Amino acid sequence: MLPKEEDVPRRFSSWILPSALALLAGTGHVLYPAWLLTGPTRKLSTPPVPPEPPEWPPVTVVVPAYREAGVIGRKVESLGANGYPGAVEVVVVADGDAETAEAAARSGARVIRPRQRLGKPAAMNLGVAEASHDICVLTDANNSLSDGALAALVRWFSDSRVGAVAGEKTEVNAGGEGLYWRFESWLKQREFRQGTTIGVVGELFAVRREAWQPIAEEVAADDLWLALDVSARHWRIAYEPAARSYEPPVSSLSESWERRTRIAAGALYVLWRYRDLLRSVDPYVRAQVWGHRLARYTVGPLAHVALVGVLARRAPRSPAAAAILAAHVAAAALVLTTPQQLPAPKKLRSVSHVLYLQAVALGGMVRFLRGDRYSKWPTIDR
């Protein structure tokens, strides 16, 4: 039986609200990328990769480390073997950790030994303050870097407008997250075509000492703080995908949830602290803050919750709503499995990962509103 003509507009209009909520839910993952691809751009193109300088400047690599005695020696040795053509000073800030300090000293690093744990932001501040050279690379103790990563970062400082350079994060055995990280890389490439990016990853970045301002010690999202602080003072941030940080896989879903919700809460705190300064930054930077960060942590997940609520109410009488709701349930179930337990196409896992990040953002909002401030988060011995 064909629907009556008057039923067609009614059915169409009934999907206006779910469609609007779906668009809002995809602000950070659909609308913002679409804006980067098709929206207005300034009269700048992606700067060409700078040539090798006639003389490579000396560099200080700062490694904040806490409970890293088992890996710090290998990290220091790998930095010396990264192939940087100039002088490299490695400064390890053993954050109230005598065993890590002793292991770092044995490997030949210059070691700074705070008497008590400071937290990562304060350890980074101390390391940069004690650096001997004008260009600093900051990297974590438990990751490995691609060959030539240091040189790939440093060559961008031949442009006097560049205050910092963002490296690229890659998670080992990322599974369905692999496609997601490639998406993140694409976003940063498109942002950099606008002249700068806020896509700094705390695992690997470089900064001029004159562009560095001490990070607030209560901040957990130190990378976002740096990006906003450097941008607010009108420095450019370059993006160098050839400088890769390879991260060990997360051991469990609970560990991933703790880390990611902490990061989300920390990012919201930074955005709140910088709410006034954001008015003075470049409008393209404001758009990046909105699309790449704020929308993902607020509008997107809240709209997604509202969408699921609308679908749940309509599911008993709407096969389409029931099917979409069932897809959400299947994606949620997929999040709780590993690729070994339940093989699935990478693209499907990437979709489930996006839904997981929506849930993470909600968890981060709860932690932010609760007042969680973790610059000294718990960790395990490595």
- Give residue-wise pLDDT tens across range 299-349: 999 999 999 999 999 888 888 889 988 888 887 887 776 544 444 555 566
Q: pLDDT tens digits for 239-298?
A: 999 999 998 777 677 888 888 899 899 999 999 988 877 776 778 888 899 999 999 999
Stronger pLDDT, 46 or 27, i.e. the higher one:
27
Report whether 224 contacts 198 (CB < 8 A): yes
Q: What are the DSSP E strand ranges found in the chain?
A: 59-65, 88-94, 110-112, 135-139, 144-145, 162-171, 204-208, 236-247
Domains of the chain: 59-252 (3.90.550.10)
What is the pLDDT, as a whole number, of residue 95? 87
Non-local (6+) Cβ contacts of 205 within 8 A are: 137, 138, 153, 164, 165, 166, 167, 223, 226
61 pLDDT more than 70: yes
In this predicted structure, the answer to whether residue 42 has a pLDDT above a threshold of 70 is: no
User: Looking at residue 371, what DSSP letter applies?
Assistant: T
pTM reported for the whole predicted model: 0.87
